[in-house]
């Protein structure tokens, strides 16, 4: 899971979006940060490894301006092997025409097959020779590039791309042909939308809006399996794949609280990632009311994400005084100072 944000409007786009991903990065993110904008019809991207605090110093990311933008805080495979956390492998990714930029949340399980199909006619900017690999997400921007080149509308093109992907995904893109729009195709990743006067915004979690709540008059969570178009002061939501059914799951929040407390009693202070995995798959199966095998399949194969309910329950436990939260800065993905929320029993 990564943490994303996007914006359309006349606001100060770099400060708005960088702060949005910075607020979220201690959940799952912080390994690399990037921002892409459409500025007077030109696509501009700045990115580097590390959390926002670092990337502000190593790039010109704060100087970017534009009418539409997408920002990404990566939590990637580099957690295990820093060779996979490089500037090249950070989001967003441009297409070969440099008219389109895309970022992704999730895992594309069939990216190697798609990469093999595409690399003969596309340049993959995330390719790292040392590992002979790319970021899985980059296949999506080139699939989208091909679909648009055939004359499909962006909505039609996103539907085609989504039909080719196996795994979990939210795709968000900007395009110089529509300089005041952000397009999102979301199967089942965290997604919260804000609408204001002549502006709109997306964040992966509600936390990303903490610095801008007064700017917007309406916040909502759009349905899963949707295409979402952000424009000035308005948002359009349409079905992504009408033939695909979103599993109807009921998450038992009180049981999840009990299981989280059990883990913290047993393990002591635990960071947000390790805590999630200590509940997988048996704990999540109980919370969702399914078998362990069903939980594993839903989460690992069908791309069902329960990140925001998990974060919300953690915050409720903090507010109730049952657990405390702190930000732990550590070495992850070859980068010092990556923030990560850590939880323990008792009041903070």
> What are 264's two structure tokens?
């913290």
110 phi/psi in degrees, rounded to 5: -105, 30
**Cα–Cα distance, 195 to 184 (Å, whole number):** 15
Digitized pLDDT (tens) for each residue of the chain, 348 residues in all: 899 999 999 999 999 999 999 999 999 999 999 999 999 999 999 999 999 999 999 999 999 999 999 999 999 876 778 999 999 999 999 999 999 999 999 999 999 999 999 999 999 999 999 999 999 999 999 999 999 999 999 999 999 999 999 999 999 999 999 999 999 999 999 999 999 999 999 999 999 999 999 999 999 999 999 999 999 989 999 999 998 888 888 899 999 999 999 999 999 999 999 999 999 999 999 999 999 999 999 888 888 888 899 999 999 999 999 999 999 999 999 999 999 999 999 865
- Burial state string for 217-233 with b = 16 or more CB within 10 A and e = fewer than 16: eeeeebebbbbbbbbbe
Say if pTM beats, i.e. exceeds, 0.75: yes
Neighbours of 247 (CB within 10 A): 12
In DSSP notation, 137-169 reads: THHHHHHHHHHHHTT--HHHHHHHHHHH--EEE
> Regarding the domain delimited by 253-345, which CATH topology (the fold level of the hierarchy) does it fall under?
Arc Repressor Mutant, subunit A (1.10.10)
**Cα–Cα distance, 251 to 221 (Å, whole number):** 16
Per domain, the residue ranges of the chain are: 3-239, 253-345
* CATH classification code of 3-239: 3.60.20.10
């Amino acid at each position: 899971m990564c943490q994303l944000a996007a914006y359309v409007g006349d606001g100060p786009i770099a400060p708005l979006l960088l702060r949005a991903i910075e607020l979220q990065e201690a959940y799952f993110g912080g390994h690399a940060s990037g921002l892409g904008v459409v500025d007077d019809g030109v696509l501009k991207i700045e990115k580097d490894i590390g959390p926002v605090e670092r990337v502000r110093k190593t790039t010109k990311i704060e100087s970017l301006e534009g009418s539409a933008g997408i920002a990404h805080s990566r939590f990637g495979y580099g957690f295990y092997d820093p060779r996979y956390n490089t500037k090249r492998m950070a989001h967003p990714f441009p297409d070969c025409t440099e008219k389109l930029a895309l970022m992704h949340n999730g895992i594309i399980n069939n990216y190697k097959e798609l990469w093999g199909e595409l690399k003969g006619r596309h340049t993959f900017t995330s390719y790292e020779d040392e590992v002979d690999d790319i970021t899985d997400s980059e296949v999506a921007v080139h699939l989208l590039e091909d679909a648009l080149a055939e004359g499909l509308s962006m909505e039609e093109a996103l539907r085609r791309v989504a039909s080719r992907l196996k795994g979990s995904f939210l795709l968000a893109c900007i395009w110089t042909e529509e300089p005041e729009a952000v397009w999102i195709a979301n199967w089942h990743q965290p997604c919260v939308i804000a609408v204001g006067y002549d502006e709109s915004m997306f964040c992966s979690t509600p936390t990303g809006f903490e610095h801008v709540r007064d700017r917007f008059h309406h916040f909502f969570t759009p349905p899963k399996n949707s295409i979402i178009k952000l424009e000035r002061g308005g948002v359009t939501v349409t079905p992504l794949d009408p033939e695909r059914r979103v599993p109807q799951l009921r998450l038992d929040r009180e049981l999840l609280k009990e299981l989280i407390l059990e883990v913290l009693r047993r393990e002591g202070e635990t960071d947000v990632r390790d805590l999630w995995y200590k509940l997988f798959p048996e704990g999540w199966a109980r919370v969702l009311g399914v078998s362990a095998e069903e939980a594993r399949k839903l989460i690992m194969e069908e791309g069902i994400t329960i990140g925001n309910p998990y974060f919300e329950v953690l915050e409720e436990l903090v507010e109730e005084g049952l657990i405390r939260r702190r930000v732990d800065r550590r070495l992850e993905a070859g980068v010092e100072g990556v923030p990560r929320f850590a939880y323990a029993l008792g009041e903070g």
